[in-house]
Each structure stands twice: as C-alpha cells, then as structure tokens.
Amino acid sequence: MNATVNAPQVDAQALGKVAVLMGGRSAEREVSLMSGTGVLAALKSRGVDAHAFDPAERDFGDLKRDGFSRCFIALHGRFGEDGTVQGALELMGIPYTGPGVMASAVAMDKLMTKRIWTAEGLSTPAWRQVKSAAETRAAFAALGSPMIVKPVREGSTIGLTKLTTLEQCDAAYALAAGQDPMVMCEQFIAGDEVTCPVLGSGPQARALPVIRIVAPDGNYDYQHKYFTDDTKYLVPCGLPEGEEAAIQALVLQAFLTLDCRGWSRADVMIDAQTRKPYLLEINTSPGMTSHSLVPMSARAAGLSYEDLCLTLLASAALDNPAPKKA
C-alpha cells in the first residue's frame, strides 16, 4: 500500500523573497511557462512572497541584486534542468529546488544516466549512441524492431521517433540530430508504461504512487502529454501490489544512485511478457502543469498541489552552502 504523505509545517514568511524560474531558452519553454504559472499561483495562495522570473528575459544577476532568497526551478530541458542554472545559483549562494549540479547534469544526459544505472545493476533497455544515419541503420539491425531514436539531452519526447523499418532510420536520425548533436537508439520495450515520482532527500526520500499511462495507440507524444485529454492516467495504477512496490523500489534506487535530492520523476516500461521493469530516464525538474504527473501522484498520496509546491520550496538547498560562522 502507498503511505500517505504529510505536508510539513512551513512558515511562508520565513522563506523570504522567492523567484519562480520559468520559461527559459529550451525547446520546452512553452511547457515551462505553464508549470511556472501554476507553481507561482500555488505559492502565492499560501502567503509566499513569490515572483515570476524568466531567465530568457532577465539577467541572472538580478536574482542577487533584487534580494531573492531562494528559487523554485520550474524550468525544463537544457539551460534549466541540466546543471547550468543550478551552477549559477550555487555561485550566487541562492538555494534552489531539486537536484544539484552534478545530478542535474547527469540526468539530463540519457547516455550518461544509462551508463551509471547499468554499472549499478539497474535495468534499462539496450542502447547505442549513433553519429550518423548509417550508424542508426546499424543500430536498427542490432537492437531490432521497433526501435526508439531520440536526442540524448532533450525531454518531453521532442525529436523522438519510434521506427519499425530500416527506411525510417535516416529521417529519424535527422529529426533527433536537429535537436541535439548527440543521438541515441534504444531498444523498444513493449508493455505497460508507468511513471513514479520521488519526494525528499537521502534516507527521507520516498517513492510516491505509481501512475500507469494509457495513451491513444500507445503514442505518448508531446501533444498527448500536454495538450489533449485523450491520454488516461491510472492512479491507483492497477498493477499487482508487489509489482508496484518493486517499481517504487527501483525508481528510488535510480534516484539515489544519481545523488538526486528534493524531487524527481522516473519513467519506466514493464515488459509485457516477463513483467520486468526497465528504467527509461529520470526527470529532475518535472512538469507542474494541469496535465502533469507528479501533482497527480502526490494528490493520490494525500498531498495537494499547493502543499506539494510549498514542500518543494521548503526543501530548497545548495550543494555547497557557505560554512556557518563561529
């Protein structure tokens, strides 16, 4: 059974002046603006002195100059989820939500993530990095059909293709390479698609309820993620209790292996034949829109959207906080 998550008692005034970082320069800017708008409204409703801050329109130095005491990162993708913003905030000494510099950078790089998970014995689909259409065709011969081709450092299925024929390889590589010069091919796992958030840090980190995703024709693409109501999200997920617990344990291990903190959300495929779960990727700044999955899972555990935002903001931290004065 999934345990109820209790919202911590937080003094909104003690959190100081808060910047909700949203927008940014990545391909996921539109989604980030939706996430940030929701977070901003939630924090304000709880009495937090919160303000929108778009790094694409303002200088990062304004955070220090304008007296912001902490940041809620609602940026997605590159220049927000990849360690760059986290590094800037570390230099300024402004605590922020979510994983730190190294964990954010590694998790954004799907190849590096899979190498670490594999080294730690965690299951993830077979893959190959490719640098040309010819190498994509060779990967198709090795990994079989269907095969996924995607940019290494992009999210929200942007630039992703599920292909079933050799003839599709060239176009799939070109699409992915148009988003990122680093491209990977991945074995497709047929079966249930699920996702599972983690909340907390270190020994206090806990996996939230698993959500099973049922998309039209199994096509959980950018449009079905954010802009339609055709996709079904099942929570409770309907999986056998032991199977859900095993996925939660795997996701929690994946989170801790990358040294994540605060929160993240991992995507998993369950092989229809063997029922073995395979880690796909981990998102260190998950979506917080009306269609987003972390709020949905948290709500199933008894944590409202507003309490989730407040909990995350209260967990804002630095990798390298200034030493306390004697």
Catalytically annotated residues: 28, 156, 226, 265, 267, 281, 283, 287
Contact at 8 Å (CB) between 88 and 60?
yes
**Prior bond to 55 cis, omega within 30?**
no
- The answer to whether 20 and 41 have CB atoms below 8 angstroms apart is no
What are the residues whose beta carbons fall under 8 Å from the beta carbon of 261, sequence distance 6 or more? 98, 99, 100, 103, 201, 202, 205, 315, 317
Q: What are 71's strand-pairing partners?
A: 19, 96
Helices 241-257, 110-119: crossing angle, 10 deg rounding: 110
Tell me, what DSSP letter sits at residue 317? B
Cα 102 versus chain centre, distance: 15
Say which residues have a Cβ less than 8 Å from residue 135's Cβ, sequence separation at least 6: 128
Residue 83 DSSP SS3: coil
